[in-house]
Structure 1
Amino acid sequence: MSRLLHTSDWHLGRTLFRHSRDEDFDAVLGEIVAIAHESKPDLIVHSGDLFDSSRPSWRELMRAMRTLNRLAEVAPTVVLAGNHDSPGFFKLLGYVSGPTRGWGLFFIDRLREPDAGGVLTFDACGGKQRIRLAVMPFVHPNRFWERSMVFGTTYADYTAAMRGLQAQLAEGLLEGHDPDRDVLVFAAHLFVAGARPSSSERGADCEAHHAIPPEDLPPVAYAALGHIHAPQPVAGVRAAAARYAGSPLQLDFGEAGEAKSVVIVDADPGRPVRVMPRPLTNGRQLATFTGTFEELAARAGEYAGTFLKVVLTGEEADAHLGPKVAAIVPDAILISAVAAREASPDTLLDTELGDEPDLPDAFRAYLASQGVPPSSAQEAVTAFARLLSELDEEDPPPAPAEELLRAALADTWTEAS
């Protein structure tokens, strides 16, 4: 039986309100390495977003390479470039530490043809089986701008192009395929329609019109997906099983309480796969408390060692709330302590259900919801309305740079002969 370990979306370098997560990354990455040693997979797949930034620091590079080298000691390890990763960095990492250097690390920096690195083959079960892996790192929609003649790319262009690319990889998987020996796997960093995003992803990268229809995924034994931070299976696919491994840490407070995991997949050719999420318990948790001082004091022990946001009910806004809360939960890493705000009439929009409010009214309601005093909010709304009216003019006033350019063109000079 072939065994795969699937992890994803480490986002090394991520901070939390300027608090370092280095301690948490070291703890959870060590846990992943321990799971790899214990489970003994034939192949390890990281499905993208190794780093949080396309320009990671040397500390993040060292943390990544130390961990990946330890994983490669267990089994060949394939790492896809996600939307946060730099293909250039991945190309460099592959050059200095890839299979040509004797390491079992494979950095997939860009999409490739099946016969040029888009499909990889690995022995499993001591050579009795093979894992055939098709790899699709993040493919940006900008890649397909030239597909439309006049107006640039359309959402249909992107969906159709991605469907074609996945079909091409699926065809490559079947070339030389031995149904009695081969387990087919697809690894990709993309957003599949129907998946539940977390609040920690970039909103622009998880828009519905860039979602890939689940039925477009290749018909494989397992689809190892990255990009979405909430661990979850994906329904409606032609694959026997498809799953987002998710991020190994809770990356923001929208993920507070969310269980994190890696995925172990057991597969035999021609048989249903067995998908086994393995919980990750290392790394400090995120928590949000809403209630009174008394209720917080009664539950203070629950928040020891957590990153904590506190919203106090029945209290007025007070600059001393933070120190008071910190004294009650001294063992928590206090991120914020604020008084709960009740909605005021200024925060409500006077519109019927289904009506679209005017932009100035919506802006006024937003400022009120953020606690901006009415006098200051009115000044901002007035300036906002004036800007909107200028945009609506058929002949808006020129920008200062435009006026300077027009003056220069009107008073041209020639060099004396």
Structure 2
Amino acid sequence: MSRLLHTSDWHLGHLLHGHPREEDFDAVLAEIVAIAQENQPDLIVHSGDLFHSSRPTVRDLFRAMRTLRELAAIAPTVVVAGNHDSPHYLEFLNFMSGPSCGRGLFFVDQLRPAHDGGVMTFEACGGEQRIRLAVLPFVHPNRFWQRSSTSGPSYADYAEAMRGLQGELLDALHEGYDPERDILVFTAHVLVAGARTSKSERAVDESFETPPEDLPVVSYAALGHIHRPQTVEGLKFARYAGSPLPMDFGEANETKSVVIVDADPGRPVRALPRRLSSGRRLAHFPGTLEELKAAAAQYDGTFLKAEIAGEEPDGLLSQKIAEIVPNAILVNPTPAREAAAGAVLDSDPGDEPELPDAFRAYLAREGLDADAAESTVTAFLHLLNELDDETLTPVPAEELLRAALENPWMEAS
């Protein structure tokens, strides 16, 4: 029986409202390595967003490589680029370490043809079985922009193009396929329609989703991009591993995990989440200072977001809270306020609202009608998504200029 370990969305370098989380990352990464050592997988897959920024610090690069080298000493380890990752950085890391590290450390920096790194093969069970892995890093919708278009890529363009890419990878997986020996696996950093996002997760542009039925039918699909661990609705073989740490307070109550996948050729896989318990807990407290005193012990050592009732918004509030819970890290402590009429968001007051909801409520307060507000929010989401990609949205005029420069007019002699 072959075994796979699936992890994803580490987001190394992430700050929690300005607070570094290096201790938490070190703890949870050590826990992931310990789980790998205990389970001895034949292959380890990281399905994207290794870093939180496309320009990671040297310390975050070191933290990533130290952990990945430890994993690669256990089993071949494959990392695909997510929307937060810089393809150039991953290309560099693959050049510097790559397959020569341990049992093999592979960085897939960008979309590759099936026969040029898009499909990888690994021996398992001492050579008795093979894991054939198709890899699909994050593909920005702009890749499918047509010169004839004046408004950017459409959902239909994106869905059709992604369907084609995944179909090509599936066809390549089946080339030389041995049903008695081979286990087919697909990994992608992609938003699948119907996936449940976390409340604090930065808005994902649902204009560019992959329908679940378009995913390649394989033994296991290791997905990245969504922080909440979950299976894809209707597809038991497809799963998001999720982030190993809660990225914000909207993820505070989620059970974080990696996934251990056991597979035999021709049989359904068994995918079991392994809970991750490292890292400081994120806690939200709504109440009075007296109530906080009574419950102070349970907030010791946490990241604490306190919303205190009956207090004035002065500079002493943080000091008062710190005296009650001296071992907590305070995150934006605020006095409780009553919501203004007409400015109520459709979310739990204890949760940080999603950015588009907050922006939509702001526009409503400013007097924009519903249609204009929704149009503005949609444009805003497109701009946010641009920040995740190093390539700016193509502009028709730029494309025409580029074409002219590539084919300059020459004066006849």
**TM-score after normalising by structure 1:** 0.81
From the superposition, tell whether residues 269 and 147 of structure 1 become closer, same or farther in structure 2 (CA, over 3 Å). farther
Q: Answer whether contact 2:306 2:333 (CA < 8 A) is retained.
A: yes
Query: Structure 1 residue 6: deviation in Å?
Result: 0.2
- Counterpart of 1:340 in structure 2 is 336
Q: Answer whether contact 2:342 2:365 (CA < 8 A) is retained.
A: no
- Counterpart of 1:190 in structure 2 is 190
Per-residue CA deviation, residues 279-314 of structure 1 (Å, 9 max, x unaligned), is: 101111111001122221111111111000111123
- Counterpart of 1:225 in structure 2 is 223
Query: Structure 1 residue 233: deviation in Å?
Result: 0.9
From the superposition, tell whether residues 231 and 4 of structure 1 become closer, same or farther in structure 2 (CA, over 3 Å). same
* Match runs of 1:355-394 below 5 Å: 362-363=365-366
* Match runs of 1:139-178 below 5 Å: 139-146=139-146, 148-178=148-178
From the superposition, tell whether residues 322 and 227 of structure 1 become closer, same or farther in structure 2 (CA, over 3 Å). same
* Match runs of 1:19-30 below 5 Å: 19-30=19-30
* Match runs of 1:205-220 below 5 Å: 206-220=204-218
User: Matches of 1:304 and 1:358 in 2, distance apart?
Assistant: 35
Secondary structure class of the residue paired with 1:117: helix
User: Matches of 2:155 and 2:148 in 1, distance apart?
Assistant: 11
Q: Which residue of the other structure, out of 298, 302, 321, is the alignment partner of 2:298?
A: 302
Secondary structure class of the residue paired with 2:333: strand
- Counterpart of 2:266 in structure 1 is 270
Unaligned runs of 5+ in 1: 350-356, 366-417
Q: Answer whether contact 2:46 2:79 (CA < 8 A) is retained.
A: yes
Q: Answer whether contact 2:185 2:218 (CA < 8 A) is retained.
A: yes
- Counterpart of 1:36 in structure 2 is 36
**TM-score after normalising by structure 2:** 0.82
Q: Answer whether contact 1:97 1:103 (CA < 8 A) is retained.
A: no
Letter in 2 for 1:229: H
Secondary structure class of the residue paired with 1:16: coil
From the superposition, tell whether residues 147 and 241 of structure 1 become closer, same or farther in structure 2 (CA, over 3 Å). farther
User: Matches of 1:59 and 1:345 in 2, distance apart?
Assistant: 47
Secondary structure class of the residue paired with 2:366: helix
Per-residue CA deviation, residues 108-136 of structure 1 (Å, 9 max, x unaligned), is: 01111111110100001111111010000
User: Matches of 1:262 and 1:157 in 2, distance apart?
Assistant: 33
From the superposition, tell whether residues 185 and 327 of structure 1 become closer, same or farther in structure 2 (CA, over 3 Å). same
Query: Structure 1 residue 318: deviation in Å?
Result: 3.3
Q: Answer whether contact 1:200 1:229 (CA < 8 A) is retained.
A: no
User: Matches of 2:285 and 2:305 in 1, distance apart?
Assistant: 6
Secondary structure class of the residue paired with 1:112: coil
User: Matches of 2:136 and 2:315 in 1, distance apart?
Assistant: 51
- Counterpart of 1:253 in structure 2 is 249
Per-residue CA deviation, residues 162-194 of structure 1 (Å, 9 max, x unaligned), is: 011001101011001001111110000000011
Secondary structure class of the residue paired with 1:44: strand
Secondary structure class of the residue paired with 1:194: coil
From the superposition, tell whether residues 62 and 244 of structure 1 become closer, same or farther in structure 2 (CA, over 3 Å). same
Please give the root-mean-square deviation of Cα atoms over the aligned residues, in Å: 2.1
- Counterpart of 1:236 in structure 2 is 234
Q: Answer whether contact 2:131 2:185 (CA < 8 A) is retained.
A: yes
Secondary structure class of the residue paired with 1:325: helix
Secondary structure class of the residue paired with 1:211: coil
From the superposition, tell whether residues 148 and 198 of structure 1 become closer, same or farther in structure 2 (CA, over 3 Å). farther
User: Matches of 1:119 and 1:147 in 2, distance apart?
Assistant: 30
User: Matches of 1:102 and 1:319 in 2, distance apart?
Assistant: 53
Query: Structure 1 residue 348: deviation in Å?
Result: 7.1
- Counterpart of 1:292 in structure 2 is 288
Query: Structure 1 residue 363: deviation in Å?
Result: 2.1
Letter in 2 for 1:161: A
From the superposition, tell whether residues 345 and 6 of structure 1 become closer, same or farther in structure 2 (CA, over 3 Å). closer
* Match runs of 1:7-22 below 5 Å: 7-22=7-22
From the superposition, tell whether residues 136 and 148 of structure 1 become closer, same or farther in structure 2 (CA, over 3 Å). farther
Query: Structure 1 residue 328: deviation in Å?
Result: 0.9
- Counterpart of 1:137 in structure 2 is 137
- Counterpart of 1:280 in structure 2 is 276
From the superposition, tell whether residues 332 and 273 of structure 1 become closer, same or farther in structure 2 (CA, over 3 Å). same
Query: Structure 1 residue 317: deviation in Å?
Result: 3.0
Q: Answer whether contact 2:344 2:361 (CA < 8 A) is retained.
A: no
User: Matches of 1:348 and 1:40 in 2, distance apart?
Assistant: 50
Count of matched residue pairs: 354
User: Matches of 1:360 and 1:151 in 2, distance apart?
Assistant: 24
From the superposition, tell whether residues 200 and 52 of structure 1 become closer, same or farther in structure 2 (CA, over 3 Å). farther
User: Matches of 1:358 and 1:223 in 2, distance apart?
Assistant: 37
Secondary structure class of the residue paired with 1:20: coil
Q: Answer whether contact 1:257 1:285 (CA < 8 A) is retained.
A: no
The answer to which structure, 1 or 2, has the higher relative contact order (CA under 8 A, 6+ apart) is 2
Letter in 2 for 1:116: D
Letter in 1 for 2:268: P
Q: Answer whether contact 1:148 1:154 (CA < 8 A) is retained.
A: no
Letter in 1 for 2:182: D
- Counterpart of 2:376 in structure 1 is none
Percent identity at matched positions? 64
Query: Structure 1 residue 57: deviation in Å?
Result: 1.1
From the superposition, tell whether residues 151 and 298 of structure 1 become closer, same or farther in structure 2 (CA, over 3 Å). closer
Q: Which residue of the other structure, out of 317, 322, 325, is the alignment partner of 1:321?
A: 317
